[in-house]
A and B are shown apart, each in its own frame.
Chain A
Amino acid sequence: MSVPRYWRNMPKREKLESKKCEKCGHVDFPPRARCLKCGSDALIPYTLPDRGKLTSFTIVRSAPKGFEKMTPYVLGVVELIDRTLITVQITDVDPSDVAIGMPLESVFRKVCEDGDCGIIEYAIKFRPAV
Protein backbone atom coordinates (compact mmCIF):
# COMPACT_ATOMS: atom_id res chain seq x y z
CA MET A 1 0.00 0.00 0.00
CA SER A 2 1.30 3.48 -0.80
CA VAL A 3 2.27 5.66 2.16
CA PRO A 4 -0.26 8.46 1.37
CA ARG A 5 -3.05 5.92 1.03
CA TYR A 6 -2.15 4.41 4.40
CA TRP A 7 -1.68 7.79 6.03
CA ARG A 8 -5.00 9.32 4.98
CA ASN A 9 -6.97 6.41 6.46
CA MET A 10 -5.13 6.42 9.80
CA PRO A 11 -7.84 8.31 11.76
CA LYS A 12 -10.47 5.83 10.61
CA ARG A 13 -8.49 2.66 11.18
CA GLU A 14 -6.57 3.66 14.30
CA LYS A 15 -9.17 5.72 16.15
CA LEU A 16 -12.40 4.58 14.46
CA GLU A 17 -13.23 8.16 13.49
CA SER A 18 -16.26 8.42 11.26
CA LYS A 19 -19.35 10.58 10.67
CA LYS A 20 -22.75 10.80 12.30
CA CYS A 21 -25.88 12.11 10.60
CA GLU A 22 -27.00 15.36 12.19
CA LYS A 23 -30.53 14.83 10.95
CA CYS A 24 -31.37 11.24 11.94
CA GLY A 25 -28.46 10.28 14.22
CA HIS A 26 -27.39 7.31 12.07
CA VAL A 27 -23.68 6.38 12.09
CA ASP A 28 -21.89 4.95 9.05
CA PHE A 29 -18.53 3.23 9.13
CA PRO A 30 -16.60 3.79 6.94
CA PRO A 31 -17.94 7.34 6.41
CA ARG A 32 -20.05 8.08 3.32
CA ALA A 33 -20.76 11.26 1.39
CA ARG A 34 -24.40 10.99 2.49
CA CYS A 35 -26.18 9.23 5.36
CA LEU A 36 -27.07 5.68 4.25
CA LYS A 37 -30.29 5.81 6.23
CA CYS A 38 -31.87 9.17 5.36
CA GLY A 39 -29.69 10.56 2.56
CA SER A 40 -28.77 13.77 4.36
CA ASP A 41 -25.33 15.27 3.76
CA ALA A 42 -25.32 17.08 7.12
CA LEU A 43 -22.71 14.84 8.74
CA ILE A 44 -20.67 15.65 11.85
CA PRO A 45 -17.42 14.04 13.11
CA TYR A 46 -18.02 11.10 15.39
CA THR A 47 -15.76 8.58 17.09
CA LEU A 48 -17.10 5.04 17.36
CA PRO A 49 -17.33 3.50 20.84
CA ASP A 50 -14.63 1.08 21.99
CA ARG A 51 -16.95 -1.66 23.21
CA GLY A 52 -19.41 -4.04 21.65
CA LYS A 53 -20.36 -7.67 21.16
CA LEU A 54 -19.71 -10.23 18.47
CA THR A 55 -22.46 -10.66 15.85
CA SER A 56 -20.67 -13.18 13.65
CA PHE A 57 -17.15 -14.50 13.08
CA THR A 58 -15.06 -16.78 10.94
CA ILE A 59 -11.74 -18.51 11.52
CA VAL A 60 -9.59 -17.81 8.46
CA ARG A 61 -7.51 -20.90 7.64
CA SER A 62 -6.64 -20.09 4.05
CA ALA A 63 -5.41 -16.50 3.99
CA PRO A 64 -5.05 -13.93 1.21
CA LYS A 65 -1.65 -12.62 0.12
CA GLY A 66 0.26 -11.02 3.01
CA PHE A 67 -1.63 -12.79 5.79
CA GLU A 68 -0.41 -16.37 5.24
CA LYS A 69 1.83 -16.41 8.32
CA MET A 70 -1.00 -15.42 10.65
CA THR A 71 -3.44 -18.30 10.10
CA PRO A 72 -5.61 -19.27 11.80
CA TYR A 73 -6.94 -15.81 12.67
CA VAL A 74 -10.41 -14.57 13.46
CA LEU A 75 -12.46 -12.03 11.52
CA GLY A 76 -15.64 -10.74 13.06
CA VAL A 77 -18.61 -8.45 12.65
CA VAL A 78 -18.86 -6.46 15.88
CA GLU A 79 -21.99 -4.64 17.01
CA LEU A 80 -20.74 -1.64 18.98
CA ILE A 81 -22.68 -0.30 21.97
CA ASP A 82 -24.13 2.47 19.76
CA ARG A 83 -25.38 -0.38 17.45
CA THR A 84 -22.97 0.43 14.59
CA LEU A 85 -21.62 -2.72 12.92
CA ILE A 86 -17.98 -3.02 11.85
CA THR A 87 -15.90 -5.79 10.27
CA VAL A 88 -12.58 -6.23 12.10
CA GLN A 89 -10.07 -8.81 13.29
CA ILE A 90 -10.65 -10.39 16.70
CA THR A 91 -7.42 -10.87 18.64
CA ASP A 92 -5.87 -12.03 21.93
CA VAL A 93 -8.07 -15.13 22.02
CA ASP A 94 -7.82 -18.80 21.06
CA PRO A 95 -10.01 -19.14 17.92
CA SER A 96 -11.81 -22.11 19.46
CA ASP A 97 -12.97 -19.91 22.38
CA VAL A 98 -14.66 -17.30 20.17
CA ALA A 99 -18.46 -17.25 20.37
CA ILE A 100 -21.26 -15.11 18.95
CA GLY A 101 -22.48 -12.67 21.60
CA MET A 102 -19.17 -12.38 23.47
CA PRO A 103 -18.40 -8.87 24.84
CA LEU A 104 -15.42 -7.17 23.19
CA GLU A 105 -13.24 -4.08 23.56
CA SER A 106 -10.96 -2.32 21.11
CA VAL A 107 -7.19 -2.61 21.14
CA PHE A 108 -4.44 -1.15 18.94
CA ARG A 109 -2.58 -3.84 16.99
CA LYS A 110 -0.34 -4.57 14.04
CA VAL A 111 -2.33 -5.86 11.05
CA CYS A 112 0.33 -6.85 8.53
CA GLU A 113 3.65 -6.03 6.89
CA ASP A 114 3.58 -4.91 3.29
CA GLY A 115 6.40 -7.16 2.07
CA ASP A 116 10.06 -6.76 3.09
CA CYS A 117 10.40 -3.06 2.27
CA GLY A 118 6.81 -1.82 2.62
CA ILE A 119 5.16 -0.17 5.59
CA ILE A 120 3.95 -1.97 8.71
CA GLU A 121 0.19 -1.50 8.94
CA TYR A 122 -1.63 -0.92 12.22
CA ALA A 123 -5.30 -0.67 13.13
CA ILE A 124 -7.91 -1.23 15.79
CA LYS A 125 -8.78 -4.85 16.47
CA PHE A 126 -11.19 -6.17 19.10
CA ARG A 127 -10.44 -8.56 21.96
CA PRO A 128 -12.55 -10.19 24.67
CA ALA A 129 -13.52 -7.47 27.17
CA VAL A 130 -11.55 -7.62 30.40
Chain B
Amino acid sequence: MRKVAVLSYGMTKVDKHWRKSLRELYGDAAKNALSSVSIPSIDALIVGNMCASDLSDQNNIGALLADYLGITPSMAYRIEAACGSGGAAILGAYTAVASGLYDYVLTGGVEKLTDGVGGNTVYSLGKASDAEYELFYGSSFVSINALMMNRYMHLYRTPREAFADFAVLMHKNATKNPCAQLPFEISRETVLNSDMISDPISLYDCAPVGDGAAALILCPVDLAKKITDSYVEVAGIAGATDTLNISSRSDILTLNSTREAAKRAYRMANVSVADIDVAEIHDAFTITAALSVEDLGFCEKGRFGKMLSSGEMEAGGKVVINPSGGLKARGHPVGATGAYQVAEIAMQLSGKADRMQAKDAEIGLAQNIGGSGSSTYVTILRRP
Protein backbone atom coordinates (compact mmCIF):
# COMPACT_ATOMS: atom_id res chain seq x y z
CA MET B 1 0.00 0.00 0.00
CA ARG B 2 1.23 3.48 -0.86
CA LYS B 3 1.28 6.31 1.69
CA VAL B 4 -1.51 8.78 0.95
CA ALA B 5 -1.57 12.58 1.28
CA VAL B 6 -4.27 15.21 1.38
CA LEU B 7 -2.83 17.40 -1.36
CA SER B 8 -5.36 20.22 -1.24
CA TYR B 9 -8.92 21.06 -0.30
CA GLY B 10 -11.68 23.59 -0.90
CA MET B 11 -14.93 24.41 0.89
CA THR B 12 -17.95 26.58 0.34
CA LYS B 13 -19.50 28.44 3.22
CA VAL B 14 -22.24 26.30 4.77
CA ASP B 15 -25.43 28.23 4.20
CA LYS B 16 -28.89 28.24 2.69
CA HIS B 17 -27.55 28.64 -0.84
CA TRP B 18 -30.81 29.51 -2.60
CA ARG B 19 -28.97 30.60 -5.77
CA LYS B 20 -26.75 27.51 -6.10
CA SER B 21 -27.57 24.01 -7.29
CA LEU B 22 -26.00 20.75 -6.16
CA ARG B 23 -23.56 20.67 -9.09
CA GLU B 24 -22.59 24.34 -8.69
CA LEU B 25 -21.87 23.91 -4.98
CA TYR B 26 -19.54 20.97 -5.56
CA GLY B 27 -18.07 22.80 -8.55
CA ASP B 28 -17.14 25.77 -6.34
CA ALA B 29 -15.47 23.56 -3.73
CA ALA B 30 -13.61 21.51 -6.38
CA LYS B 31 -12.40 24.67 -8.11
CA ASN B 32 -10.91 25.88 -4.82
CA ALA B 33 -9.18 22.54 -4.27
CA LEU B 34 -7.80 22.47 -7.82
CA SER B 35 -6.69 26.11 -8.00
CA SER B 36 -4.04 25.80 -5.28
CA VAL B 37 -2.08 22.95 -6.90
CA SER B 38 -0.90 21.99 -10.35
CA ILE B 39 -1.63 18.35 -11.17
CA PRO B 40 -1.58 16.49 -14.50
CA SER B 41 -5.07 14.96 -14.30
CA ILE B 42 -7.98 13.91 -12.10
CA ASP B 43 -8.04 10.12 -12.35
CA ALA B 44 -11.21 9.51 -10.35
CA LEU B 45 -14.01 11.29 -8.52
CA ILE B 46 -15.50 9.72 -5.38
CA VAL B 47 -18.09 11.96 -3.76
CA GLY B 48 -20.31 11.62 -0.69
CA ASN B 49 -23.96 12.63 -0.73
CA MET B 50 -27.03 11.51 1.19
CA CYS B 51 -30.22 13.21 0.03
CA ALA B 52 -29.96 14.07 -3.67
CA SER B 53 -32.29 11.23 -4.69
CA ASP B 54 -35.00 12.62 -2.41
CA LEU B 55 -34.47 16.37 -2.53
CA SER B 56 -32.91 17.03 -5.95
CA ASP B 57 -34.60 14.08 -7.74
CA GLN B 58 -31.14 13.13 -8.87
CA ASN B 59 -29.25 9.87 -8.82
CA ASN B 60 -26.01 9.17 -10.72
CA ILE B 61 -24.24 12.04 -8.93
CA GLY B 62 -20.76 10.72 -9.82
CA ALA B 63 -21.20 11.08 -13.56
CA LEU B 64 -23.19 14.31 -13.16
CA LEU B 65 -20.31 15.99 -11.33
CA ALA B 66 -17.62 14.54 -13.62
CA ASP B 67 -19.62 15.94 -16.51
CA TYR B 68 -20.08 19.36 -14.85
CA LEU B 69 -16.38 19.59 -13.90
CA GLY B 70 -15.26 18.53 -17.37
CA ILE B 71 -13.25 15.56 -16.16
CA THR B 72 -15.00 12.81 -18.15
CA PRO B 73 -14.05 10.04 -18.97
CA SER B 74 -12.52 9.70 -15.47
CA MET B 75 -14.17 7.10 -13.27
CA ALA B 76 -16.74 8.64 -10.90
CA TYR B 77 -19.26 7.47 -8.35
CA ARG B 78 -21.20 8.65 -5.30
CA ILE B 79 -21.07 7.03 -1.88
CA GLU B 80 -24.01 7.11 0.52
CA ALA B 81 -23.61 6.36 4.24
CA ALA B 82 -26.19 8.83 5.60
CA CYS B 83 -24.46 11.69 7.49
CA GLY B 84 -21.25 9.67 7.23
CA SER B 85 -21.16 9.88 3.42
CA GLY B 86 -18.32 12.42 3.36
CA GLY B 87 -16.06 10.34 5.60
CA ALA B 88 -16.97 7.21 3.62
CA ALA B 89 -16.05 8.91 0.34
CA ILE B 90 -12.65 9.87 1.74
CA LEU B 91 -12.06 6.29 2.86
CA GLY B 92 -12.99 5.19 -0.67
CA ALA B 93 -10.57 7.69 -2.17
CA TYR B 94 -7.86 6.64 0.28
CA THR B 95 -8.11 2.98 -0.72
CA ALA B 96 -8.15 3.91 -4.39
CA VAL B 97 -4.89 5.85 -4.06
CA ALA B 98 -3.18 3.53 -1.55
CA SER B 99 -3.86 0.51 -3.74
CA GLY B 100 -2.09 2.12 -6.68
CA LEU B 101 -5.15 2.06 -8.93
CA TYR B 102 -5.40 5.87 -9.19
CA ASP B 103 -2.91 8.69 -8.52
CA TYR B 104 -5.05 11.81 -8.20
CA VAL B 105 -8.52 11.31 -6.73
CA LEU B 106 -10.95 14.16 -6.25
CA THR B 107 -13.21 13.39 -3.29
CA GLY B 108 -15.32 15.08 -0.60
CA GLY B 109 -19.03 15.58 -0.32
CA VAL B 110 -21.93 17.77 -1.35
CA GLU B 111 -25.40 18.29 0.07
CA LYS B 112 -28.27 20.47 -1.11
CA LEU B 113 -30.85 20.28 1.68
CA THR B 114 -32.77 23.49 0.97
CA ASP B 115 -34.29 22.16 -2.25
CA GLY B 116 -36.52 19.93 -0.08
CA VAL B 117 -40.19 20.93 -0.03
CA GLY B 118 -42.43 20.77 3.06
CA GLY B 119 -41.41 18.02 5.44
CA ASN B 120 -39.30 16.24 2.79
CA THR B 121 -35.93 17.31 4.20
CA VAL B 122 -36.65 16.00 7.69
CA TYR B 123 -38.17 12.84 6.25
CA SER B 124 -35.17 12.24 3.99
CA LEU B 125 -32.73 12.68 6.89
CA GLY B 126 -34.83 10.30 8.99
CA LYS B 127 -34.17 7.55 6.47
CA ALA B 128 -30.78 7.03 8.17
CA SER B 129 -32.81 5.09 10.76
CA ASP B 130 -34.43 1.69 10.23
CA ALA B 131 -37.42 2.58 8.04
CA GLU B 132 -39.42 -0.54 8.87
CA TYR B 133 -38.92 -0.57 12.64
CA GLU B 134 -38.02 2.96 13.76
CA LEU B 135 -39.49 5.41 11.24
CA PHE B 136 -42.65 3.30 11.19
CA TYR B 137 -43.44 4.47 14.74
CA GLY B 138 -43.18 8.17 13.90
CA SER B 139 -39.60 8.57 15.04
CA SER B 140 -37.26 11.04 13.42
CA PHE B 141 -33.53 11.60 13.52
CA VAL B 142 -34.07 14.05 16.38
CA SER B 143 -36.29 11.78 18.48
CA ILE B 144 -33.92 8.81 18.22
CA ASN B 145 -31.12 11.01 19.56
CA ALA B 146 -33.49 12.37 22.21
CA LEU B 147 -33.94 8.79 23.49
CA MET B 148 -30.17 8.63 23.96
CA MET B 149 -29.98 12.06 25.61
CA ASN B 150 -32.78 11.36 28.08
CA ARG B 151 -31.12 8.08 29.07
CA TYR B 152 -27.77 9.86 29.48
CA MET B 153 -29.29 12.58 31.68
CA HIS B 154 -30.99 9.93 33.80
CA LEU B 155 -28.03 7.58 34.16
CA TYR B 156 -25.28 10.15 34.73
CA ARG B 157 -27.50 12.78 36.43
CA THR B 158 -26.38 15.34 33.87
CA PRO B 159 -28.53 18.49 33.53
CA ARG B 160 -29.41 20.12 30.18
CA GLU B 161 -27.04 22.94 31.10
CA ALA B 162 -24.00 20.72 30.53
CA PHE B 163 -25.13 20.04 26.96
CA ALA B 164 -26.11 23.68 26.40
CA ASP B 165 -22.58 24.77 27.31
CA PHE B 166 -21.20 22.69 24.43
CA ALA B 167 -23.46 24.53 21.98
CA VAL B 168 -22.26 27.83 23.47
CA LEU B 169 -18.60 26.83 22.90
CA MET B 170 -19.33 25.73 19.30
CA HIS B 171 -20.97 29.06 18.47
CA LYS B 172 -18.01 30.91 19.98
CA ASN B 173 -15.57 28.87 17.87
CA ALA B 174 -17.63 29.46 14.72
CA THR B 175 -17.20 33.22 14.96
CA LYS B 176 -13.63 32.59 13.74
CA ASN B 177 -14.64 30.38 10.82
CA PRO B 178 -15.40 32.16 7.51
CA CYS B 179 -17.23 29.03 6.25
CA ALA B 180 -19.53 28.70 9.29
CA GLN B 181 -23.29 28.85 8.88
CA LEU B 182 -23.96 30.27 12.38
CA PRO B 183 -20.95 32.50 13.22
CA PHE B 184 -22.52 34.25 16.21
CA GLU B 185 -22.31 33.79 19.95
CA ILE B 186 -25.17 32.47 22.07
CA SER B 187 -25.69 32.03 25.81
CA ARG B 188 -26.67 29.01 27.85
CA GLU B 189 -30.17 30.53 28.12
CA THR B 190 -30.45 30.70 24.30
CA VAL B 191 -30.27 26.90 24.28
CA LEU B 192 -32.39 26.25 27.36
CA ASN B 193 -35.16 28.58 26.23
CA SER B 194 -35.24 27.51 22.58
CA ASP B 195 -38.23 25.51 21.28
CA MET B 196 -38.45 21.92 22.42
CA ILE B 197 -38.29 19.61 19.37
CA SER B 198 -38.26 16.22 21.04
CA ASP B 199 -37.63 16.31 24.81
CA PRO B 200 -34.95 16.86 26.02
CA ILE B 201 -33.56 18.07 22.67
CA SER B 202 -34.35 21.70 21.95
CA LEU B 203 -33.66 23.64 18.77
CA TYR B 204 -30.21 24.84 19.87
CA ASP B 205 -29.10 21.31 20.75
CA CYS B 206 -29.39 20.54 17.02
CA ALA B 207 -27.12 21.23 14.08
CA PRO B 208 -28.82 23.54 11.58
CA VAL B 209 -30.08 22.60 8.10
CA GLY B 210 -27.81 23.95 5.39
CA ASP B 211 -26.19 23.38 2.00
CA GLY B 212 -22.51 22.98 1.36
CA ALA B 213 -19.69 21.19 -0.39
CA ALA B 214 -16.12 20.31 0.51
CA ALA B 215 -13.64 18.85 -1.97
CA LEU B 216 -10.25 17.25 -1.33
CA ILE B 217 -7.57 15.92 -3.62
CA LEU B 218 -5.83 12.76 -2.40
CA CYS B 219 -2.65 11.45 -4.01
CA PRO B 220 0.42 9.39 -3.04
CA VAL B 221 2.75 11.13 -0.57
CA ASP B 222 5.62 10.65 -3.02
CA LEU B 223 3.82 12.73 -5.65
CA ALA B 224 2.49 15.30 -3.14
CA LYS B 225 6.07 16.11 -2.05
CA LYS B 226 6.93 17.24 -5.57
CA ILE B 227 3.89 19.49 -5.85
CA THR B 228 3.61 21.35 -2.54
CA ASP B 229 5.12 21.57 0.91
CA SER B 230 1.76 22.10 2.57
CA TYR B 231 0.34 18.60 2.11
CA VAL B 232 -0.55 16.44 5.12
CA GLU B 233 -0.34 12.67 5.52
CA VAL B 234 -3.27 10.36 6.10
CA ALA B 235 -1.80 8.44 9.04
CA GLY B 236 -4.81 6.30 9.88
CA ILE B 237 -8.29 5.77 8.52
CA ALA B 238 -11.04 3.32 9.41
CA GLY B 239 -14.76 2.78 9.24
CA ALA B 240 -16.98 0.60 11.43
CA THR B 241 -20.67 -0.20 11.83
CA ASP B 242 -23.28 -0.91 14.49
CA THR B 243 -26.99 -1.79 14.41
CA LEU B 244 -29.35 0.77 12.84
CA ASN B 245 -31.84 0.31 15.70
CA ILE B 246 -30.45 1.87 18.86
CA SER B 247 -32.54 -0.61 20.89
CA SER B 248 -30.63 -3.52 19.31
CA ARG B 249 -27.40 -2.35 20.98
CA SER B 250 -26.26 -3.78 24.28
CA ASP B 251 -25.99 -0.20 25.57
CA ILE B 252 -27.78 2.70 23.90
CA LEU B 253 -25.17 5.12 25.29
CA THR B 254 -22.15 3.48 23.64
CA LEU B 255 -21.27 4.27 20.03
CA ASN B 256 -19.58 0.98 19.22
CA SER B 257 -18.92 2.02 15.63
CA THR B 258 -16.98 5.05 16.90
CA ARG B 259 -15.04 2.96 19.43
CA GLU B 260 -14.12 0.38 16.82
CA ALA B 261 -13.22 2.84 14.04
CA ALA B 262 -11.15 4.92 16.46
CA LYS B 263 -9.32 1.85 17.78
CA ARG B 264 -8.40 0.77 14.24
CA ALA B 265 -7.40 4.27 13.13
CA TYR B 266 -5.23 4.84 16.24
CA ARG B 267 -3.53 1.49 15.65
CA MET B 268 -2.94 2.21 11.97
CA ALA B 269 -1.48 5.65 12.75
CA ASN B 270 0.47 4.19 15.67
CA VAL B 271 -0.82 6.89 18.01
CA SER B 272 -2.94 6.96 21.15
CA VAL B 273 -5.80 9.30 21.98
CA ALA B 274 -3.39 11.40 24.09
CA ASP B 275 -1.42 12.25 20.93
CA ILE B 276 -4.37 13.99 19.26
CA ASP B 277 -3.90 17.78 19.28
CA VAL B 278 -7.05 18.81 17.47
CA ALA B 279 -10.26 16.98 16.58
CA GLU B 280 -13.36 17.63 14.53
CA ILE B 281 -16.09 15.44 16.04
CA HIS B 282 -19.64 14.70 14.86
CA ASP B 283 -21.90 16.83 17.10
CA ALA B 284 -25.16 16.51 15.14
CA PHE B 285 -26.81 17.04 18.53
CA THR B 286 -25.18 18.01 21.81
CA ILE B 287 -25.75 14.43 23.02
CA THR B 288 -23.85 13.15 19.97
CA ALA B 289 -20.92 15.33 21.02
CA ALA B 290 -20.96 13.80 24.50
CA LEU B 291 -21.05 10.21 23.27
CA SER B 292 -18.43 10.92 20.59
CA VAL B 293 -15.93 12.57 22.93
CA GLU B 294 -16.31 9.67 25.35
CA ASP B 295 -16.16 6.85 22.82
CA LEU B 296 -13.16 8.34 21.02
CA GLY B 297 -11.45 8.01 24.40
CA PHE B 298 -10.96 11.70 25.29
CA CYS B 299 -12.71 11.10 28.63
CA GLU B 300 -14.47 8.32 30.53
CA LYS B 301 -18.16 7.50 30.07
CA GLY B 302 -20.36 10.06 31.80
CA ARG B 303 -17.52 12.59 32.19
CA PHE B 304 -18.26 14.77 29.16
CA GLY B 305 -19.74 17.61 31.21
CA LYS B 306 -16.78 17.59 33.56
CA MET B 307 -14.25 17.66 30.70
CA LEU B 308 -16.11 20.53 29.06
CA SER B 309 -16.44 22.69 32.17
CA SER B 310 -12.77 22.23 33.06
CA GLY B 311 -11.74 23.81 29.74
CA GLU B 312 -10.10 20.61 28.43
CA MET B 313 -11.75 20.95 25.00
CA GLU B 314 -10.31 24.38 24.22
CA ALA B 315 -6.90 25.89 23.53
CA GLY B 316 -4.55 24.97 26.37
CA GLY B 317 -6.64 21.90 27.25
CA LYS B 318 -6.19 18.20 26.50
CA VAL B 319 -7.37 18.51 22.89
CA VAL B 320 -8.96 21.31 20.87
CA ILE B 321 -12.44 20.03 19.97
CA ASN B 322 -14.17 21.49 16.90
CA PRO B 323 -12.29 24.76 16.34
CA SER B 324 -14.52 25.11 13.25
CA GLY B 325 -17.65 25.37 15.39
CA GLY B 326 -18.59 21.76 14.66
CA LEU B 327 -21.82 20.55 13.13
CA LYS B 328 -23.63 22.79 15.62
CA ALA B 329 -22.33 26.08 14.26
CA ARG B 330 -20.10 25.48 11.22
CA GLY B 331 -23.15 23.60 9.98
CA HIS B 332 -24.08 20.09 8.90
CA PRO B 333 -24.59 19.69 5.15
CA VAL B 334 -24.96 15.99 5.90
CA GLY B 335 -23.17 14.14 3.08
CA ALA B 336 -20.49 16.85 2.96
CA THR B 337 -19.85 17.14 6.71
CA GLY B 338 -17.20 14.42 6.95
CA ALA B 339 -15.31 16.09 4.10
CA TYR B 340 -15.42 19.50 5.82
CA GLN B 341 -13.98 17.86 8.95
CA VAL B 342 -11.02 16.27 7.16
CA ALA B 343 -10.36 19.47 5.18
CA GLU B 344 -10.45 21.49 8.42
CA ILE B 345 -7.98 19.14 10.12
CA ALA B 346 -5.68 19.35 7.08
CA MET B 347 -5.94 23.13 7.32
CA GLN B 348 -5.00 23.01 11.02
CA LEU B 349 -1.98 20.76 10.48
CA SER B 350 -0.63 22.84 7.61
CA GLY B 351 -0.92 25.96 9.78
CA LYS B 352 -3.44 27.66 7.53
CA ALA B 353 -6.42 27.90 9.88
CA ASP B 354 -5.96 31.62 10.60
CA ARG B 355 -8.07 32.66 13.58
CA MET B 356 -9.20 29.03 14.10
CA GLN B 357 -5.61 27.79 14.38
CA ALA B 358 -4.87 25.31 17.19
CA LYS B 359 -1.32 26.07 18.32
CA ASP B 360 1.41 23.60 17.25
CA ALA B 361 -1.09 21.02 15.99
CA GLU B 362 0.74 18.02 14.55
CA ILE B 363 -1.77 15.20 14.74
CA GLY B 364 -5.49 15.66 14.18
CA LEU B 365 -8.58 13.49 14.04
CA ALA B 366 -11.92 13.70 12.22
CA GLN B 367 -14.88 11.57 13.33
CA ASN B 368 -17.90 11.36 11.05
CA ILE B 369 -21.05 9.43 12.02
CA GLY B 370 -23.78 8.02 9.80
CA GLY B 371 -27.22 7.56 11.41
CA SER B 372 -27.41 7.51 15.21
CA GLY B 373 -24.07 5.70 15.38
CA SER B 374 -24.76 2.94 12.85
CA SER B 375 -21.56 3.85 11.03
CA THR B 376 -18.49 5.91 11.89
CA TYR B 377 -15.48 6.95 9.82
CA VAL B 378 -12.37 8.11 11.67
CA THR B 379 -9.50 9.79 9.82
CA ILE B 380 -6.21 10.70 11.48
CA LEU B 381 -3.93 13.18 9.73
CA ARG B 382 -0.32 13.98 10.52
CA ARG B 383 1.89 16.93 9.64
CA PRO B 384 4.80 15.46 7.63
Footprint of A on B, CB under 8 Å? 118-120, 122-123, 126, 130, 132-140, 142-144, 146-148, 150-151, 154, 195-201, 243, 245-249, 252
From A57, A61, A62, A70, contact of B147 by CB (8 A): A57
Is A58 at the interface (CB under 8 A from chain B)? yes
Complex CA distance for A76 and B151, rounded to whole angstroms: 10
Report the bound CA distance from A123 to B137 in whole Å.
9
A103 to B269, CA, bound (A): 48
24 contacting pairs across A/B (C-beta < 8 A): A30-B133, A57-B147, A58-B147, A58-B198, A60-B140, A61-B196, A63-B138, A64-B119, A64-B123, A64-B138, A64-B139, A65-B118, A67-B138, A70-B138, A75-B139, A75-B143, A76-B147, A86-B247, A87-B133, A87-B144, A87-B147, A111-B136, A111-B138, A121-B136
Majority secondary structure, A binding face: strand
Q: Does A106 contact B (CB under 8 A)?
A: no
A65 near B248 with CB under 8 A, answer no
Residues of B within 8 A of A73 (CB): 138
Q: B154–A77 contact, CB under 8 A? A: no
For chain A, residues 88 to 130, give those with C-beta under 8 angstroms from any C-beta of chain B. 88-89, 100, 111-112, 121, 123
Determine which of A30, A58, A64, A87 lies in contact with B150 in the assembled complex, contact meaning CB atoms within 8 Å.
Answer: A58
Cβ–Cβ contact A62 & B198, under 8 A: yes
| A65 / chain B contacts, CB cutoff of 8 Å | 118-120, 122-123
Select one of A61, A64, A100 contacting B199, CB under 8 A. A61
Alpha-carbon separation in the docked complex, A29 to B243 (Å): 11
Q: Known: A56-B151, A75-B138. Is A61-B243 also a contact (CB below 8 A)?
A: no
CB <8 Å contact, B245 and A30 = yes
Q: Are the C-beta atoms of B138 and A60 separated by less than 8 Å?
A: yes
- C-alpha spacing A39/B67, complex, angstroms: 44
One of B133, B142, B150 near A100 (C-beta < 8 A): B150
Bound-state CA distance A70–B197 (Å) is 14
Which of chain B's residues have a CB closer than 8 A to the CB of A111?
136-138
Q: Tell me which residues across on chain B come within 8 A of A61, comparing CB atoms.
A: 195-199
Which residues of A sit under 8 angstroms from B148, Cβ to Cβ?
56
Which B residues are CB-close (under 8 A) to A123?
136-137
Set of chain A residues within 8 Å of B123, measured between Cβ atoms: 64-65
Closest to A85 in B: B247
Ranked 10 nearest A-B pairs via Cβ? A58-B146, A56-B151, A67-B138, A85-B247, A65-B119, A59-B199, A87-B247, A64-B140, A65-B123, A56-B147
Compute how far the CA of A23 lies from the CA of B120 in the bound complex, rounded to whole angstroms.
44
Q: Which residues of B contact A28 (CB under 8 A)?
A: 248
- Complex Cα distance, B146 from A63, in Å, reads 13
Is B198 a contact of A60 with CB atoms below 8 Å? yes
Task: Say how far B138's CB is from chain A's closest CB, in angstroms.
Answer: 4
Choose one: A5, A12, A60, A112; the contact of B143 (CB below 8 Å).
A60
CB distance from A86 to the nearest CB of B (A): 5
Q: Chain A contacts of B195 at CB under 8 A?
A: 61
Provide the residues of chain A in CB contact with B133, threshold 8 Å. 12, 29-30, 87
**Chain B residues, CB < 8 A from A59:** 196, 198-199
Whether the pair B147, A89 counts as a contact (CB closer than 8 A) is: no
**Closest B residue to A1 using CB positions:** B136
A73–B126 CA distance with the chains assembled, in angstroms: 17
Q: Is the CB of A56 within 8 A of B122?
A: no
CA A12 to CA B197, docked complex, whole Å: 29
Q: Which of A13, A62, A85, A123 has the most CB of B within 10 A?
A: A62
How many Å from the CB of B89 to the closest CB on chain A?
A: 27
Whether B248 lies near A66 (C-beta < 8 A) is no
Contact A30 B246 (CB under 8 A): no
Nearest to A59 among chain B residues (CB) is B199
Query: Closest CB-CB distance, B132 to chain A, in whole Å?
Result: 6
A-side contacts of B134, CB under 8 Å: 87
Asked if A36 CB lies within 8 Å of chain B CBs, one says yes
